[in-house]
Amino acid sequence: MIAHNPAWAHLVLRSTVALVFLSHGITRTILDRVAPFGKAFDAWGWPFGIYWAWGVTLWELVGGVLLLLGVRPWLVAPVFVVQMVFGIYLVHLKHGWFVVGHGFNGMEYSVTLIAALFAVALTAPRELPAPAHAR
């Protein structure tokens, strides 16, 4: 039986969500997919699409590291929620709910990430740990 441990549950969820965003930012950068992502922003009518693409990519990298390290996740997670809401609006909403199976490229995964991000933000400890020398 798994013991009741909210702190570990928070750590597992926060780390998993961080790795999801990091994997997107790292993969987009390594595979040189930022420019095509910028063209998507251009197609959606956003000016300077390449800058938006780099902004999202850099946020996924920086925000992902912040989440992984547990640096103010109650502030970091809501920024990712905004990113997911825009992703739903720009990409997934027109495809419906299902990502695969009963549909394609829908919003169910994004909604699940939003719920996970809210859980991370709501369960994050608000007190910063005391420095080692102060203990």
Are 35 and 57 within 8 A, CB to CB?
no
- Whether the per-residue pLDDT at 42 is higher than 80: the answer is yes
- Whether the per-residue pLDDT at 134 is higher than 80: the answer is no
* Model confidence pLDDT, tens digit, residues 14-31: 999 999 999 999 999 999
Q: Across the chain, what does the average pLDDT equal? A: 94
DSSP per residue, the chain? -PPP-HHHHHHHHHHHHHHHHHHHHHHHHHTT-HHHHHHHHHHTT-TTHHHHHHHHHHHHHHHHHHHHHTSSHHHHHHHHHHHHHHHIIIIIGGG-S-SSSSSSS-SHHHHHHHHHHHHHHHHS--SPPPPGGG-
* Model confidence pLDDT, tens digit, residues 95-115: 999 999 999 999 999 999 999
What does the pLDDT read at residue 128?
64
Distance CA 23, CA 61 (A): 8
* Model confidence pLDDT, tens digit, residues 52-75: 999 999 999 999 999 999 999 999
